[in-house]
Structure 1
Amino acid sequence: MTIEATATDLQAFTESWLEWYRAQEARLADPHGFLAITGLHWLDERPQRFPDAPGAWHTGPEGVVVTLDEGEELVVDGTPVRGEHRFGVLPERGGVNAVWGEAVIEVAKRGGHDIVRPRHPDAELRTAFTGTPAYAPDPRWVVRGRYLPFDEPRPTTVGAAVEGLEHVYDAPGRIEFELEGRELSLTAFPGYAEGTLSVLFTDATSGVTTYAANRSLTVGPPAADGTVTLDFNRAANLPCAYTDLATCPLPPAENRLPVAIEAGLKIPRERGGA
């Protein structure tokens, strides 16, 4: 069911959307945001050096280790470190940000692999960023749905923007809703904030006016009766829409919607968007 809005509501609706949009853009263009990434380095047991990070890096059963040269220093959790530093075993989708001068060296685990991903404020992708094209907000794309929890979370394996990489999420349930006269559903993953849900999807605009691989939508906590609101005006791009140095998950097959959702963020200019 689409939520109707009166003319007097439209200005507040648009202003709320603009606030969301500006926050999305600010996070993306942060001095150490995803546009600042200069390399995606995969670690193994062999010590490796990278042009955009100090030291020699390797990983193994006891986790990530860096060996810094004389005169090199990282700041980890506010503490300067020199020589050998052990980051330990990192949790999946977790990581540590080590400061190196003006840069941040992200040390993380993605798809079971340890990575080093430096972020430099002067990266060309960031300094040249001029914003993301988007559809004008429209209340017709705000839809009521119903959240149906599974008996227990279902481990769900999805692909990634990096070929050969996989992500596994515990899907707590699915969301059913009606749009454009069709009964649809989406598998939901846990959101970042407590109680929220996150949906990865594609639709008939994907690869035409919106990024081909995925978009994401945050859904607020379900009401007591399972009611949720899906505001597709806030369909966001993941970092892989802007850079090949991201490991973003792809939607599960059942989240490929057969309707054109002309709402939310469009193909970035960095990918040829208008």
Structure 2
Amino acid sequence: MTVQDSHRAESREAVDAAAFTEEWERWHAAKEDTLAGPHGFLAITSLRWLGPEPERFDDAPGSWSAAGDRVVVELAEGEELTVEGTAVHGRYDFGVIGERDSVYAGHGDAVIEVARRGGHNIVRPRHPGNTLRTAFAGTPAYAPDPRWAREGRFVPFDTPRAVTVGAVTEGLEHVYDSPGQVEFAWDGTTYRLTVFNGVRPGSLMALFTDATSGVTTYAANRSLQIDAPGPDGRVRLDFNRAANLPCAYTDLATCPLPPAGNRLPMAVEAGEKIPFERGGQG
């Protein structure tokens, strides 16, 4: 290779590295915007577990109860919620809410989330003025590094398997259908992670911990979204996008823990770190 060719190669590498960093920064900014949006997870002011007896809460209108699997609110005179653009008064039946589904009812500048998690009905009011949100200063993260973007392969199960995992909320369990595992090589060793269905159709999601967990990254879990496998099963695992779940910021989340076997022995020094709200460092 001539000196000129070497300079050209270095220039291409610099351009590629800059583009990689810019793409990561756009991803991280979008994630932060969602987290810290007016009704994002940082706006949650309480987590209420509903039972058969009606209860009133100081951060939401009405008396709330779960009659069987149905969530019901009794609004007093002068109280109002907006559900799907319609103002409701008096008694309102939200019906049966599916596992991991949520319904959002408006109340002034707040939103009242009605949801089902781990077989339990919950209410989570979200107020834009919540201090956790207004004081949010961003999430520290490792500098993006292309070497943490690994090629891998999706290994499907013959049929999806129901996988039960714990939760950050004591006594709660989550059940997910797993379509298979992804495998990738690191320093000559092949590792496998059990995956669940991702946000986008056909995509995958891995929950994992590694040797940085509880040291520089959140102890309980991080998540990694993986694009849909190619026709030959190939996938790309970009650990630079290893992301905190909401429980990394607030105790008012019910996040799942990783499946057994999803602890990587190496230190994945990539992706998001422990949030400042949990004592993390930049």
Q: Which TM-score applies when normalising by structure 1?
A: 0.97
Q: Which runs of 5+ in 2 are unaligned?
A: 1-11
Matched residue, 2:96: 89
Matched residue, 2:245: 238
1:169 pairs with 2:168: no
1:268 pairs with 2:275: yes
Helix, strand or coil at the partner of 2:174: strand
- Contact (CA 8 Å) 1:77, 1:98: kept in 2 or not? yes
Matched residue, 1:131: 138
Aligned residues: 270
Matched residue, 1:55: 62
Q: RCO greater where, 1 or 2, for CA within 8 Å and sep 6 or more? A: 1
- Contact (CA 8 Å) 2:160, 2:179: kept in 1 or not? yes
Instruction: Tell me the CA shift for residue 223 of structure 1.
Output: 0.4
Deviations 1:29-71 (A, max 9, x none): 0000000000000001010111100000001225000000100
2-structure distance, mates of 1:207, 1:24? 22
- Contact (CA 8 Å) 1:44, 1:60: kept in 2 or not? yes
2-structure distance, mates of 1:216, 1:86? 34
Helix, strand or coil at the partner of 2:17: helix
1-structure distance, mates of 2:106, 2:76? 16
- Contact (CA 8 Å) 2:212, 2:267: kept in 1 or not? yes
Identify the range of structure 1 (55-64 vs 187-196) with the bigger mean alpha-carbon deviation.
55-64
Instruction: Tell me the CA shift for residue 125 of structure 1.
Output: 0.3
Q: Which runs of 5+ in 1 are unaligned?
A: none
Helix, strand or coil at the partner of 1:254: coil
Instruction: Tell me the CA shift for residue 192 of structure 1.
Output: 1.3
Helix, strand or coil at the partner of 1:7: helix
Deviations 1:200-256 (A, max 9, x none): 000000000000000000000000000000000000000000000000000011101
Aligned partner (choices 248, 251, 262) of residue 255 of structure 2: 248
2-structure distance, mates of 1:103, 1:83? 19
- Contact (CA 8 Å) 2:77, 2:90: kept in 1 or not? yes
Helix, strand or coil at the partner of 1:59: strand
Matched residue, 1:214: 221
Matched residue, 1:149: 156
The list of structure 1 runs, each at least 4 consecutive aligned residues, that deviate by more than 4 angstroms after superposition, is none
Distance 1:62 1:42, change over 3 A: closer
Note the 1:70-85 alignment, pairs <5 A: 70-85=77-92
2-structure distance, mates of 1:249, 1:227? 26
Aligned partner (choices 12, 18, 34) of residue 25 of structure 2: 18
1:118 pairs with 2:125: yes
1-structure distance, mates of 2:187, 2:51? 49
Matched residue, 2:9: none
Helix, strand or coil at the partner of 2:79: coil
- Contact (CA 8 Å) 1:170, 1:189: kept in 2 or not? yes
2-structure distance, mates of 1:241, 1:181? 32
2-structure distance, mates of 1:95, 1:14? 34
- Contact (CA 8 Å) 2:44, 2:126: kept in 1 or not? yes
Deviations 1:140-176 (A, max 9, x none): 0000000011000000000001000000000000001
The root-mean-square deviation of aligned C-alpha atoms, in Å, is: 0.9
Aligned partner letter, 1:46: E
Q: Which TM-score applies when normalising by structure 2?
A: 0.95
- Contact (CA 8 Å) 2:52, 2:68: kept in 1 or not? no
Aligned partner letter, 1:6: E
Aligned partner letter, 2:33: A
